[in-house]
Structure 1
Amino acid sequence: MMLCLGTLGRLATGEKNSTDDAVFAEALGRLATGECNSADDAMFASREMRRLDSRSIHPPNDALELFTTNEFVEHRNTQYLASVNSGENEMFTSYCWDKCEGEGSDRVKQKELDRVKSWPLSKTQNLPQILLAKVGAPYMVTVNIKTEDGLTNGAHGVLRHIAWGRTGNGERAAIRLYVEFRDESVGQQTRSDNFRIMQADGVNSRWTPVERISRVIIPRKGSMLKVVRKQFPLVPAKAITIHKSQGATEKVIVVHISASRRMTRAIYVAFSRVTCHFFRWTPY
């Protein structure tokens, strides 16, 4: 099922409705303890997207979408990126640079490199093997780049610019990605430190440069070999898991969940992410 969350009055008119907020907050509290009453059920049902569509109430195109599994997240992000129209200089595919270090033959090292290729982010220090970057699409930081500057795992923003350069052998390559973070304080020090570079790149002063970073991956427990991966620490973030959304606060979100009662915890977490509240349920 799919829900879209956000205050109905606010979405329709752009105005804040404190009464709706209070009612939703109380219903959310009862949802957490499994004590929803008929009025709560009716209120949640009234925000189903199929009902909202009939009233011409729609979530904004940039609304964050939440799913229960990484599989659905990856599918939705791939689908969304395909719909983003970007020019030749506004998109590229970044393949990670993996290097196996330590004592071992070339054959053994290649085996370890092949081993980590299909590993999920959780096993590769949160650096993706492949990153499709498109200007205008939302992205999320996957590692703690600079904690004191707010550049931490989970920081959200929109890719605004790709700075191009040349590799050592003369090949054209992206050297920096500029992200406009939702919170302007995120990356403020980084922008200040890179003022001259940003001027040379001709970018907006609110955009933060993100460069490739390196992390060490251990292919096997006890192995004397290690894989050093270099990649941009970003992933597409039109959709993320409900679990990953914990700690974040959004104005509007779209939530995809099943109708199982066992999903109560996931529903509560998803609902508590937003300052506005409206939704829809559809099978997926």
Structure 2
Amino acid sequence: MHPTIPGFTYRRVPVADDVTLNVAVGGSGSPVMLLHGFPQTHLMWRHVAVELAAHHTVICPDLRGYGASDKPAEDAGDAEAGGAGGVTYAKRTMAADAVALARALGHDRFALAGHDRGALVAIRAALDHPEVITHLASLDVLPTLDTWDVMHGTGAAVGFHLYLMAQPPGLPERMIGASADAFFGHFLDIWTRDPRAIPADIRAAYLAASRASVPSIVADYRASAGIDVVHDLADRDAGNRLRMPVTVLQQDWGTALGFDAAALWRAWAPDLRHSTVSCGHFMAEEAPEDVVKAVRDLLTR
């Protein structure tokens, strides 16, 4: 039996041509959508979602290419991005999925929170659809453009997977697919301070979902080395900013990576609250109380 979020109803919702998302919905009230990260599924929100559902309609999809959602074949490439990553898994495309999902569920405006890859989708949704996204929360990630800008020297070794999955189609899929559980399990291990935060059944669900999604996960990352950068550069050059209240939570990186994350975020988000959480990367599972409080505070702004 597959793990689920207690008290939530599951359905499949078409959001684009030939793309249907698996989504868990619970609670009632103003809508909040929660987008998961890598190498996870919507289940990463299981604690946060239940708490928020006391006062909100909470929408937890699997992103396209992940979990039980559809996994369309990667676009062959996009000339604008030099073929480094096509439109199928561009964050712009995945952000449009989120907006279409909310509308299909009856919501023209909603708050959006994302972790890791889901945060990149959420940021793009907020830039592309400011009339739709009322509030934005980002958990433990930098905007795509800033991520690439700050990675250099030996410190960039922590992001080896970004470079691996940025390679042209073929090699990364074969390498990861040959040892998928070891690859995805590596991140579940090293990014978690408290291993109890991801119990055995949840870990097994993450590994099974990722094992079945290698090509689409690689395509998602490949897009972030290609077309996503093109889109971010266009917004930065045009002076486009996040117009809504923004909350950013990050784990306490200290000075290890050698940059000021809050300063980078302020360049994108004039109405910003930035804080650190004492836990590992998977903060919605390691410190759900902190995440719930931050989201609730955000929604009052």
TM-score, length of structure 2 as denominator length: 0.21
TM-score, length of structure 1 as denominator length: 0.22
More helix by share: 2
Give 1 or 2 for the bigger CA radius of gyration.
Answer: 1
